Amino acid sequence: MRLRCHAVVDTAFQQVQVWKNERQCEFRVAGAIHAWWHEKRFLTGLAWDNLAAAALLRRDGAPRSILMLGLAGGTATRVLRHLLPDCRLVAVDIDSEIVALAALNMQLDRLGIEVHIADAYEWVAKCRERFDVVIDDVYLAGSDDVYRPGKSDARHIASLRRLLKPGGLLLANLVNGPGHRAIQSRTRSAFREAFPLVRSVTTPDSRNETLVGGDSLTRGALGIWEDRFADAFDRRLWRRIQVRKFAPLPTR
């Protein structure tokens, strides 16, 4: 069943097109799918799968607390809540209207997330808590494409690393391709300088990669989570997730 545009909402930060049918919903922003929900399935083959899988690469076991910077419709957090029903999920988003749209159209309010409406990086500067996983998925809408408002340099990565518990992981969602290569390269370099271990998590159909940095990472074992998905389509997409190592920076 095809999706139909039900509404176009101009929030204070972006124009959101709400496309939906009886079983699923998409938010489209600046020509891209910004959030996705399905009544029975969880995975998309896109960036949110990378984020959810990357959060599970912690060597000390499944995370008990996750901070998501940039919530939008909560697509990745929905996957994480399904896989980690007892995990504490905290999220920060500057756009209260898109969060409200997600509660109305994507059942966001059923996930048990502690939501803070604020500028994510200003909130981080004041935060005194620590988490097992911190996810940086902050993007804003430009005239033709989305963009990262942060610098993603060494100082930025250090400010996020401060929020990690021992053994914790920092994740960053990066868009690939023209217009995004400079920020991708700078973020990769900052991660390699900040962490002894860095991984890139991708799916074949996505234009995104998730960078994962930490002091200790599991050697894989994403397969142990596959049976948590009842739908065969979800299981097939989970098997397509790829984890690639980054070579450590040479010692000086």
By residue range, what is the domain housing residue 216?
41-245
| 97 falls within a domain | yes
Residue 178, helix vs strand vs coil:
coil
Whole-number Å distance between alpha carbons of 48 and 37: 11
Q: Hey, how many other C-beta atoms are within 10 angstroms of the C-beta on 50?
A: 27
pLDDT of residue 206: 87
For the stretch 21-49, pLDDT in tens is: 999 999 999 888 899 999 999 999 999 99
Bridge partners for 70 per DSSP? none
| 225 falls within a domain | yes
Those residues of the chain that have pLDDT short of 50 are 143-145, 252
| 53 falls within a domain | yes
Whole-number Å distance between alpha carbons of 191 and 15: 32
Q: Could you say which DSSP state residue 202 is in? A: E
pLDDT of residue 198: 95
pLDDT of residue 144: 45
Bridge partners for 176 per DSSP? none
Domain containing 115 — which CATH number? 3.40.50.150
For the stretch 214-241, pLDDT in tens is: 998 986 679 999 999 999 999 999 999 9
pTM for the full predicted model = 0.92
Q: Which amino acid is at 160?
A: L
| 111 falls within a domain | yes
| 18 falls within a domain | no
| 25 falls within a domain | no
| 163 falls within a domain | yes
pLDDT of residue 175: 82
| 92 falls within a domain | yes
| Total tally of structural domains belonging to the chain | 1
